[in-house]
Structure 1
């Protein structure tokens, strides 16, 4: 492997002691009586989570779990990229790069690693941290620039002539750019979403199902989309509080998890309480919440700064729509990617790899091993 060094997660005890002090000395703001989750993250819920964080959550145990699989740091075009790299057990394993989103991390995929590296239909899994996230450089890049790094990582650092790619949320944009720009090396792609109507589409070209989807997205945007507007316009103003207070960080991230679930499903939607806190901890110990939200600004500059939109790719694409995701129709997906498989899943949500890992892993295996 070219310019690749081994890596292990090792957090200094001083960082954990400081975290404990900050959690214990939180200044709680109070909340409107009976507001629940209607004004944002419930203070009652968050106080309970912080008690668990202080008294039961064990970072060292979860740190050991993060180190169960091989991890590396690669210099990719001058950017330090952290990634897990787990080879499949089959001689014919397919190379597959999985790209996470926000507010999750490379940890999004930890439950499907053993499911996709065993058996005859296995994969060589490459699971990187997007620059600006986790243990990669604190460099905020737009999706297209990240795709450029992934292509170099897979073909030059790891030596694959062709590879497969999958992603959702922010990872969707990266995966879509990979297929559009590098069809000569990307053999297939998989998505759990393909983007959302932003008011630029000509209604005359939209089907009735697409119009209904656009209306749903507009309503959702008014109710839940403030986070994206802030992150795409004033990420630095947001970063001060989130980088300084672990409770502020947790409250912001949990608000986004709740937006794709329901108050009584937050932990289930993310796989469990420990999974929720481990993901938050990755942002905390690396101090990357600021650079991660700056990616939204980088994306906005790229999209609205006059750059040409990516062309639709001919790379075979699989699309899986989970029931607690925005329910877009097949024709919407066909605007952006070459859909050869479109499936409505029976259970799961935005973080399907954490919530229903068996179902998600089987969907990836089935598509990549059976696509035409």
Structure 2
């Protein structure tokens, strides 16, 4: 298995000219006369300034120079060419750390935290940092066959870690990375020694024989919450669910994109691939809705102050340059049609040490008691600011939490 150095490429003059032409001649959809904020989706007043910024101000070469400060590689695993960043620490006590992102993000989600985690910022725990592009995301090759689901991603990413030479490591995940990381924690626990996530997913403590024996009080509280309500039993805001199913739009107005990407990703992909404006708008809605906004500001801005225009446009440009929006959305289809695999992942416990950090803008939240019944929860934190992309939004708080978790598992000798 050969690991080859890789450099983030420039955009060819022809491709850049095409992008500029499409942005310059953008056609915008008609809208209602009255401003309805974000209730119908991303509004023109939010999208158009970002399109103009992409056309007139954004410089890919600046972003490229930043990214090429780090060591990038390609390696072929299970027939797919996988891209990853590998930044080894100079600290003798460093822990191998796998950082996994989800959709509509890419490896650049972690650009602010690579060096602080590698170097043990502020005297905290240091890590050997590994950030892959998931297959079909960024600079990794897109899957060629059906069935490339969460478990298949987990297999490939685990093989990547052992190919680099890390027989033992820690995994962190957000969004899809949380699910892939959970699969690795469950199925590759001989090598993955601890798991950290900002979006844990598990079932509540249902009255199964195992739960009734191990967590009887947690089961009783959950049963009580069915009639009394989650807020009454667990406290206001301690349980936020994404509807009752994958695409339950009646109970989760955010679920529409999951319904489309989980059932008809091909059709959607034509618009997102051919139109950079459509691509930007589709991504912007999530970067707006899933981030933390100070009280009263959500409806009046496109992005929170914690994410710069250039940071967002770099994420968009990576998708556009690599033509991976279509392949990234197919993960929703594969997961939605992998009923047994997803059910097993949700039902099976995580036995290795697990850390959870909740940020208030995260799209879901589960009661701490649910996590304790389903995972070996040794670290739990509730942060006062930040959202679905905490390493972008509140990078210093994110680094501090990861370092505290790392220090804990090192002190407890969960990993040598």
TM-score w.r.t. the length of structure 1 is 0.92
Q: Aligned partners of 1:5, 1:368: CA distance in 2, in Å?
A: 29
Query: What is the CA distance between 1:306 and its match in structure 2?
Result: 9.0
**Is the Cα–Cα contact under 8 Å of residues 144 and 173 in structure 1 kept in the other structure?**
no
Greater Rg by CA: 2
* Aligned positions of 1:194-273 closer than 5 A: 194-195=200-201, 206=222, 212=230, 216-218=241-243, 221-261=251-291, 262-264=298-300, 266-268=302-304, 271-273=307-309
- Mapped pair 1:287 → 2:323: yes
Q: Aligned partners of 2:23, 2:304: CA distance in 1, in Å?
A: 24
- Closer, same or farther in 2 for the Cα pair 1:135/1:208, shift >3 Å? farther
Query: What is the CA distance between 1:217 and its match in structure 2?
Result: 3.2
**Is the Cα–Cα contact under 8 Å of residues 110 and 391 in structure 2 kept in the other structure?**
yes
Could you tell which deviates more after superposition, 59-68 or 313-322?
59-68
CA RMSD for the aligned pairs? Answer: 2.4
CA deviation map 1:41-84 (0-9, x unaligned): 01011111111111111111111112111100011122211000
Query: What is the CA distance between 1:168 and its match in structure 2?
Result: 1.1
**Is the Cα–Cα contact under 8 Å of residues 240 and 365 in structure 2 kept in the other structure?**
no
Q: Aligned partners of 2:36, 2:384: CA distance in 1, in Å?
A: 32
Query: What is the CA distance between 1:264 and its match in structure 2?
Result: 4.2
Query: What is the CA distance between 1:27 and its match in structure 2?
Result: 1.2
Aligned to 1:153: 160
**Structure 1: which 5+ runs fail to align?**
none
- Closer, same or farther in 2 for the Cα pair 1:208/1:19, shift >3 Å? farther
**Is the Cα–Cα contact under 8 Å of residues 196 and 214 in structure 1 kept in the other structure?**
no
Aligned to 2:214: none
Aligned to 2:97: 96
- Mapped pair 1:184 → 2:185: no
Q: Aligned partners of 1:168, 1:56: CA distance in 2, in Å?
A: 30
**Is the Cα–Cα contact under 8 Å of residues 312 and 337 in structure 1 kept in the other structure?**
yes
Query: What is the CA distance between 1:209 and its match in structure 2?
Result: 6.3
TM-score w.r.t. the length of structure 2 is 0.83
- Closer, same or farther in 2 for the Cα pair 1:12/1:130, shift >3 Å? same
CA deviation map 1:303-347 (0-9, x unaligned): 258974462121100000011113321122234421111111121
What secondary structure does 1:108 align onto?
A: helix
Equivalenced residue count is: 369
**Is the Cα–Cα contact under 8 Å of residues 76 and 149 in structure 1 kept in the other structure?**
yes
**Is the Cα–Cα contact under 8 Å of residues 162 and 185 in structure 1 kept in the other structure?**
yes
Aligned to 2:47: 46
Could you tell which deviates more after superposition, 8-17 or 238-247?
8-17
Query: What is the CA distance between 1:216 and its match in structure 2?
Result: 4.8
